[in-house]
Chain A
Amino acid sequence: MVGRNEPCPCGSGKRYKDCHGSLAAPAQKVAFVIAGTQKGGTTALASYLYEHPEIGMPTVKEVHFFDTDEHFASTEVDYAKYHAYFNPALRKRLLGDATPIYMYWDAAPPRIWQYNPAMKLILLLRNPITRAYSQWNMERERGSDPLPFEEAIRTEVERSRDALPLQHRLYSYVDRGFYSDQLRRIWRYFPVEQTLVLKSEELQHAPEAALARIADFLGIARFAAAAPRNVHARPYQGPMSVEARRYLADVFEFEIRSLERTFGWNCAKWLEAGA
């Protein structure tokens, strides 16, 4: 939360109440969100968007506005706090927010819809099996999870109850991989045409084609030539165990088949060992 007399987070040097905190501030609404999935390449995608001349991205990496419950405690939401993350001096045509928990966070899609029902949503989906392992590696590296991976995924439902009534931000390794439910919730609020769903591999292996689709979806000029980027490649302590992979393949097999059918994708590799 920003105090009214503190400097505005947009970097203007003015006090918050005289800048984005001003109740009279005219607001350009955020037009699109990169809403997930976590560990799906959202940071790499945002890094391309930062460089696009028509796009304004926030002054921090992940804004976490629509998943921060305090912002929504009163019926009058102070969106100036959200807009303060965008520098108005840049005068960009479209503002975008890349916060990958939005697609997972139950409360976020209705809040986004209430803010801007014309919002466009970009979703990068990664193999939920490797996504889970990548998230665990991140938490382990940060010292946030002392449990071995297999134990963490087998006890996830019980452990995550520590966060009730909220979802668990850290230990939701498996739960975040049920994309079909998350997509159905998004499509409850937003027409399918306002959403663009890509496989993470598309951005990783064929960034030009993926970025062209994103540019067309957002209605902006095509990106300059784009080389593949691997923004967040972290070293793993070791590979996923055979047992953990088998467990997750069992959990996600029909989830993956369902995505294949919904999007006409071929995700055979997601279910192969070593993928």
Chain B
Amino acid sequence: MSVRKDLADYGKARRGAIDRGPAAPRPDKVGFVIAGTQKGGTTALASYLYEHPEICIGGAKEIHFFDTDPLFRAGTVPNYAAYHARFDPAGRERILGDATPIYMYWEPAAQRIWEYNPSMKLIVILRDPAARAFSHWNMQRTKNLDPRPFFEALKTEKERCRAALPSQHPLWSYADRGFYCGQLRRIWRYFPVEQTLILKSEELRTAPERLLANVAAFLGIEPFGPVEPREVYARDYDEPMTDDARDYLRDIFEYEIRSLERMLGWDCSDWLA
């Protein structure tokens, strides 16, 4: 994840050059998370936020605090000081943000975030779940973490993922992570809808200015400067998705996508095309 480190350094350098405002007091809690979805453009979104003078994004890479189960053993108080040590706000940076895209998928995370800070704001960026699954598999294949072909990995996902029980499977959950409605309902069980901002991943490419204006208004920060689209899905695929995998995903996600459209008032016809 050196990309994240580079972006952090770049952001700090750029801010150092332009930002001469009075220093802000250090916030006592992390104020927002970019909670997912994995392969949904969270890194690109974080890269814009790195450059914002009022925002401090923690960690040179994903922090993975609320999904690290051993940190939350029953009867113990989580080491929030260690979490806070991952943030190093400078200058006018007055809001701390944690971009760890597994949070929305990891079942215990929402409760842990709520216990830490019930006023937390959550940004979620959603991508076509079929494209997300294929992107996820391509990443694991490139990292040599999954030897199986995509369609086979999908068809055997439930059985394979039982290897991680009682936890969810962090690597092979290609289809399971795409059931966004249940993940959103779990977030809304803990947090009022007004504390959440649900974005469509494709808008990072097609309408980044509007998307970032929404983010700025949601976080209560000054508008972003001029915005250029950034490469969101950087990995090249060796081969396109096969038809059988595409049909399979369409079958399992069609009504999920329809539900999401209705729940959010979105048009996802591009996901169903």
Q: Work out how many contacts link A and B, with CB atoms closer than 8 A.
A: 66
Q: Which of A54-62, A92-100, A125-133, A185-193 touches B?
A: A185-193
Interface size class of A (residues with CB under 8 A): 20 to 34
A158 to B189, CA, bound (A): 8
Q: Chain A contacts of B192 at CB under 8 A?
A: 158
Whether A258 pairs with B255 at a CB distance below 8 angstroms is yes
Tell me the complex Cα distance, A188–B167, Å.
Answer: 9
Interface hits, A134-173 → B, CB 8 Å: 157-158, 160-161, 164-165, 167
Q: Could you name 25 residue pairs across A and B whose Cβ atoms are closer than 8 Å?
A: A106-B107, A110-B166, A114-B166, A157-B189, A165-B111, A165-B115, A167-B189, A175-B185, A178-B181, A178-B182, A180-B179, A180-B182, A181-B179, A181-B182, A184-B176, A188-B161, A189-B166, A191-B159, A250-B262, A253-B262, A254-B255, A254-B256, A254-B258, A257-B255, A258-B259
| Chain A residues, CB < 8 A from B262 | 250, 253-254
Interface presence of B251 (CB below 8 A): yes
Asked, given contacts A165-B114, A188-B158, whether A258 binds B107 with beta carbons under 8 Å apart, the answer is: no
What string of 1s and 0s marks CB contacts (under 8 Å) between B70-84 and chain A? 000010000000000
**Interface assignment of A113: CB less than 8 Å from any CB of chain B:** yes
A51 to B258, CA, bound (A): 44
Q: A255 an interface residue at 8 Å Cβ cutoff?
A: yes
Residues on A with C-beta less than 8 A from B254 are 261
Known: A73-B74, A188-B158, A254-B255. 5 other contacts (CB 8 A): A106-B107, A113-B165, A161-B189, A178-B185, A258-B259
Number of interface residues of B (CB under 8 A): 29
Whether the Cβ atoms of B189 and A113 lie closer than 8 Å is no
A160 close to B189 (CB less than 8 A):
yes
Tell me which residues across on chain A come within 8 A of B111, comparing CB atoms. 165
- Whether A188 lies near B162 (C-beta < 8 A) is yes
